[in-house]
């Protein structure tokens, strides 16, 4: 219940209990136009917490003793967690980006490619960021995986001037993930949950103004 309450507070940024970020002393149009002046490298890290369904192989000995065909796998609810990072570079349009990602899961290390699309402005956590849509495809040594992502992001540095070479992005996103074993199509999992940039979330929820 405590975990669910924390996630609800994280996503419901409009009613967060923390104080808003401190306003800039001298803000100009150039300082706050980061959406129209993207960095060449945008990167982020995340924690992913999700719940869904997963197949589990049944005991082979029990199957051998049966006289009628039986399923080789059973489906049950399962938690899905991960620690990940991504880096993207721009395509010819400033709203489309591609790049590699990596995620550590209990089942192994997954790597792959990501297509990220910046959407319309989105005001959450008392700061106007943007909607983000992403598709990730990847694999580990034994499994293949795909994820669909939708959520909110903004720069770690809330006001300019910004670095044009690289920019660290924070936010919170909903994510649906499907994974399947390469050598066994019946060995699969599917989950839905949230991923969030941990330090930025702690900075806001804790109102740590010295981090802004």
Calpha distance 66→192 (Å, rounded): 36
Residue 23 clears pLDDT 60, i.e. is over it: no
Residue 53: its H or E element: strand 41-57
Residue (of 173, 159, 187) closest to 101 by Cα position: 173
Beta-bridged to residue 93, according to DSSP, are none
For the chain, how many residues are written?
212
Residue 118 clears pLDDT 80, i.e. is over it: yes
Residue 168 token pair: 């660290």
Q: Could you read off the pLDDT of 104-113 as tens digits, one per residue?
A: 999 999 999 9
First to last CA, the chain: 30
Residue (of 105, 152, 110, 149) closest to 131 by Cα position: 152
Residue 63 clears pLDDT 50, i.e. is over it: no
Domain 2-20+40-55+75-211, CATH class in plain words:
mainly beta
Q: Specify the higher pLDDT residue, 33 or 189.
A: 189
Instruction: Check if the beta carbon of residue 191 is closer than 8 Å to that of residue 49.
Output: no
Q: Could you read off the pLDDT of 161-191 as tens digits, one per residue?
A: 888 899 999 999 999 999 999 999 899 999 9
Task: Delimit the domains of the chain by residue range.
Answer: 2-20+40-55+75-211
């Amino acid at each position: 219940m405590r975990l669910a309450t924390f996630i609800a507070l994280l996503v419901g940024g409009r009613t967060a209990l923390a104080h808003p970020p401190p306003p800039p002393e001298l803000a100009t149009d150039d300082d706050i136009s980061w959406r129209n002046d993207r960095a060449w490298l945008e990167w982020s890290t995340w924690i992913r917490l999700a719940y869904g369904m997963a197949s589990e192989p049944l005991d082979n000995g029990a199957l051998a003793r049966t006289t009628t065909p039986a399923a080789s796998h059973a489906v049950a609810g399962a938690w899905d967690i991960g620690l990940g990072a991504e880096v993207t570079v721009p395509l010819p349009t400033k709203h489309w980006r591609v790049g590699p990602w990596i995620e550590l899961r209990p089942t192994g290390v997954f790597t792959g490619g990501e297509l990220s699309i910046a959407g319309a402005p989105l005001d959450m956590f008392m700061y106007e960021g943007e909607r983000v849509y992403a598709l990730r495809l990847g694999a580990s040594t034994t499994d293949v995986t795909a994820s669909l992502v939708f959520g909110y992001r903004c720069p770690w540095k809330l006001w300019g001037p910004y670095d044009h070479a690289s920019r660290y992005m924070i936010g919170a996103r909903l994510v649906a993930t499907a994974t399947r074993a390469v050598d066994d199509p019946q060995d699969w999992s599917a989950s839905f949950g949230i991923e969030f940039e941990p330090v930025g979330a702690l900075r806001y929820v804790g109102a740590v103004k010295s981090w802004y």
